[in-house]
Amino acid sequence: MIEFQQVDYTLPQIVAKTGITHPNPHPYSDISCLIVAWNEEERIGKLMELLKEYFERFVVCVQESQDATLDIARSIANREHDIVLEDRHRGVGDASFPEMVSNTKTEWCFVISCDEWPSYEVLGSMSSAIALAELSPETNEAVWFLFQSSIEKIELTEQNAHLRLFRRSVGWPNTMHSRPMTNRGVLWPYGVIHHDRSLDEFVQDYLRYYEIGRGHSAWETHNLMMMRSACQAVSRHYGWDYVHRYPWWPEVQGLAFKDEEFTNGSEKEDY
């Protein structure tokens, strides 16, 4: 169960309580930005150039890639305190986080993925969010941010907040679909992290997760549910023919829709 405390203060009240102006002075010297990447040459450069303005330190781990991801990461994370690590391809980014966290030198870590985009309200409030969290021992280990997920620009109803800013000492498990294991956090309600993917990218990710998670009933259920709900959401906007055109559809149909029948590109029964 997700637990965090809500923020009941306005931004002017937070400025008065913490003494930190808003937007916060940056780049931040006391927060490291952590990124795991794999075959992300089309996105990692744009994201890192944005984040370089806000963070003095990167800790980037590139899992073995077939494109220029590693070269791009090294070309941007080229400052004195930046760290670029290499790892074998794990299939999930979470597997690389323990090593990244252990290589982090600052007290606080901010995590972002290459297919995500933080709003300027999020990036400009890191110090304020930490200062607010540290006002109470019940919230002083982590900050949750609002999260907006979409596929093909269609908004999904998923978990609407993610833990992305946390103390290094909390650590990060190397298991799939994990997060820092603490409930001592606060929800920062200003700004949002956007996460938009194509249906093709989304389903291929979850097919990979499904294979990695075979034998773990909770992971299997979650991964099948995510594929199913994504295909349903896209079909409602673009029709089932749009979904059926992908090479992976027969596999997904057999896994996530095995009890359903389709006639003329549509589900036989509405559910």
Q: Domain spans of the chain?
A: 11-171+184-195, 199-259
- Give the whole-angstrom CA distance, residue 136 versus residue 141: 10
User: Which pLDDT tens digit goes with each residue over 223-236?
Assistant: 999 999 999 999 99
CB 265 within 8 A of CB 239: yes
Task: Determine the average pLDDT of the residues in 202-206.
Answer: 95
Task: Determine the average pLDDT of the residues in 83-95.
Answer: 94
> Around Cβ 200, how many Cβ atoms within 10 Å?
14
Instruction: For the chain, give the mean pLDDT.
Output: 92
Residue 262 in this model has a pLDDT that exceeds 80: no
User: Which pLDDT tens digit goes with each residue over 108-120?
Assistant: 999 999 999 999 9
- Token pair for 6: 């809500």
Task: Determine the average pLDDT of the residues in 50-55.
Answer: 98
**Nearest CA-CA partner of 162 in 176, 141, 148, 151:** 148
CATH of 11-171+184-195, one of 3.40.50.800, 3.90.550.10, 3.40.47.10, 2.60.40.1510: 3.90.550.10
- Give the whole-angstrom CA distance, residue 147 versus residue 191: 9
Q: What is the pLDDT of residue 267?
A: 60
- Give the whole-angstrom CA distance, residue 234 versus residue 27: 39
User: Which pLDDT tens digit goes with each residue over 169-203?
Assistant: 999 988 888 889 898 999 999 999 999 999 999 99
- Give the whole-angstrom CA distance, residue 33 versus residue 123: 11
**Nearest CA-CA partner of 99 in 115, 86, 110:** 86
Work out the pLDDT band at 271, boundaries 50, 70, 90: very low
Q: What is the pLDDT of residue 47?
A: 98
| Global confidence as pTM | 0.91
Q: What is the pLDDT of residue 269?
A: 43
- Give the whole-angstrom CA distance, residue 61 versus residue 26: 23
